[in-house]
Chain A
Amino acid sequence: MKHIFQDKSNGINYRRLENIAPIIECSSCGRNVLEELARTNSSICPFCGNDFRMKAHDRMEQILDNGSFKETNKSMSSVDKLHFPDYTKKLNKYKKSSGLKEAVVTGIGAIDGRKVAIAIMDAQFMMGSMGTVVGQKIVSLTEHATKNKLPLIIFCASGGARMQEGVLSLMQMSRCSIALNRHSEKGLLYISVLTHPTTGGVTASFAMQGDIILAEPGALIGFAGPRVIEQTVKQELPDGFQRSEHLIEHGMIDNIILRRNMKYTLSHLLKLHTPFDGGAL
Chain B
Amino acid sequence: MVEVKNEEKERIASEDMGVQIENQDGIELRSFGTVKRWATKRSLWMVHYCTGCGGIELAPLMTSRYDMERFGMHPMVTPRQSDLLLITGYVNIKTLKRIIRTYEQMPDPKYVVAFGSCPINGGPYWDSHVTINHLDKYLPVDVYIAGCMPRPQSIVKAFDMLMDMIQSGKADGYLRYKKYYDRYKANQEKLFRKWW
A and B, one complex? no
Interface residues of A (CB under 8 A from B): none
Interface residues of B (CB under 8 A from A): none
